[in-house]
Amino acid sequence: MKLDQKTKTLIKRAKVARLATVDQKSHPYVVPVVFVFHENSFFIPLDEKTKSVNPKKLKRVKNIGRNPNVTLLIDKYQNDWEKLFFLMIHGKAVIVDSKNSKIMNKVHKLLISKYPQYKKIGVGNSCIKITPHGITHWGHSN
């Protein structure tokens, strides 16, 4: 899927998104995430921030294992409604780990560049990779 330059700019500037997965009972599950966009895919780290479970046991990871269809929502709210926008990315997700060392090394560098906090806490050894198959967008922002 090809993205126009305006969309790529909005994606690059965005610092947070919401990832929606579906659980085994077909209930939606939405969490805020950080991400980078590389080679036409979105990468969400399963990082070393404090978590109550091992990253492989996170509900979002288990949901993706059962159903890889996900939605990633990137949005920006402004009091000036002429500057609102959202991008809703529909895609298929997989878990990528250190077995894919070339891509993981590049993704780690991009994540550390975008989020300097990762220099202290660690990016982790795996990430969610979303390959988009559809994008809906709306807004006035550029």
**CA atoms of 108 and 124, how far apart (whole Å):** 9
CB 94 within 8 A of CB 43: no
Residue with tokens 């894919």: 100
> How far is CA 53 from its chain centroid?
20
pLDDT at 142: 47
**CA atoms of 71 and 133, how far apart (whole Å):** 10
Strand order in the sheet with 36-38: 28-33, 17-22, 69-76, 85-97, 126-139, 41-45, 36-38
Helix or strand (DSSP H, E) at 41: strand 41-45
CB 91 within 8 A of CB 108: no
Q: Which domains does the chain have, with CATH numbers?
A: 5-139 (2.30.110.10)
**CA atoms of 53 and 31, how far apart (whole Å):** 15
List the pLDDT tens digit at each of the 142 positions of the chain.
Answer: 777 888 888 888 899 999 999 999 999 999 999 999 999 999 999 976 665 667 778 899 999 999 999 999 998 877 888 777 889 999 999 999 878 788 999 999 999 999 999 888 878 889 999 999 998 878 755 4
**CA atoms of 91 and 125, how far apart (whole Å):** 22
pTM: 0.90
